[in-house]
Amino acid sequence: EVHLVESGGDLVQPGRSLRLSCVASGFSFDDYAMHWVRQGPGKGLEWVSGINWDSGSVGYADSVKGRFTISRDNAKNSLFLQLSDLRPEDTGLYFCVKDSGAYHYYSGRFLDSWGPGTLVTV
């Protein structure tokens, strides 16, 4: 069974930084692309960032481009999101999400497993 556990969420001041982590288990982590998706208070789901199985390609939503950095450590079955220059609109629950395929950027794939999320408050 796929298991994703996020951590690192906190209350921070605007302009500060934060690092989110996600530890995965129950599948071959280095075979799949991974993503971060967030949900602001009273808002819908918003895709934040995705990364290929081998870190060879990454993508970001325009709202976070240049401020957030996604990375992964396949040896430790871990996904990360470095959040910088945080703004009040970045407040929300951040989900670690497993892709159905190895690449984050093609049609025909979907987000097949989600963690419970970690809360970021700016």
Partner 1 sequence: QSVLTQPPSVSGAPGQRVIISCSGRSSNIGTNTVNWYQHLPGAAPKALIYSNDQRPSGVPDRFSGSKSGTSASLAISGLQSEDEADYYCAGWDDSLNGDVFGTGTKVTVL
Strands (E), the chain: 3-7, 18-25, 34-39, 45-51, 58-60, 68-73, 78-83, 92-99, 111-114, 118-120
Tell me the window of 9-17, 24-32, 44-52, 71-79 that interacts with partner 1 (CB under 8 A): 44-52
Nearer to partner 1, 12 or 45 (CB): 45
Q: How far is the CB of 89 from partner 1 (least distance, A)?
A: 11
Contact status: 35 vs partner 1 (CB under 8 A): yes
Q: Which of 17, 116, 119, 121 binds partner 1 (CB under 8 A)?
A: 116
How many Cβ atoms are within 10 Å of 45's Cβ, its own excluded?
15
Query: Which residues of this protein are in contact with partner 1, per CB under 8 A?
Result: 35, 37, 44-47, 50, 59-62, 95, 100, 104-112, 114-117
